[in-house]
Amino acid sequence: MSDIRYTKDHEWVRREGDVLVVGITQYAQAQLGDVVYVEVPDAGRVLSAGGEAAVVESVKAASEVYAPLSGSVVEGNAALADNPALVNEEPEAGGWFFTMVCDDQAAFDTLMDEAAYQAYVKEID
């Protein structure tokens, strides 16, 4: 079973022990186009599920990245400040936005698995 889940706002969440790594999906980065600026949250920031957590700007648009779950930020991906193109190059790897600890670890399992997310994307395309 994969430890990656997805949101309807096109964030992916990968569980690594007690820490969750959060980024935007391949689909989201393709919709944005070339990313030119990323603002990630600071460590210690408290996030509410569905609330704004980060900002991503591209040549096409600016968009919010939402917290997939409630919890606290462990680390923002500082590499994105110097190289926002990582979001386009490696959206589900090196282009992650932040890590967090979740208030309710069981909430992770309520997010979509990959098959459900792919079906969702097909519906909206």
Full set of structural domains in the chain with CATH: 4-124 (2.40.50.100)
Q: Give the pLDDT confidence score for residue 105 in this predicted structure.
A: 85
Please check the confidence at residue 1 and state whether its pLDDT lies above 70. Answer: no
Q: Which distant-in-sequence residues (6+ apart) come within 8 Å of 73 by Cβ? A: 41, 42, 43, 44, 45, 46, 47, 53, 98, 99, 100
Mean pLDDT, the chain, whole residue set: 95
- Identify the DSSP state of 112: B
Q: Among 19, 65, 16, which residue's Cα sits nearest to residue 38?
A: 65
- pLDDT tens-digit series, residues 14-57: 999 999 999 999 999 999 999 999 999 999 999 999 999 999 99
- In contact, 3 and 14? CB cutoff 8 Å: yes
Q: Give the pLDDT confidence score for residue 79 in this predicted structure.
A: 96
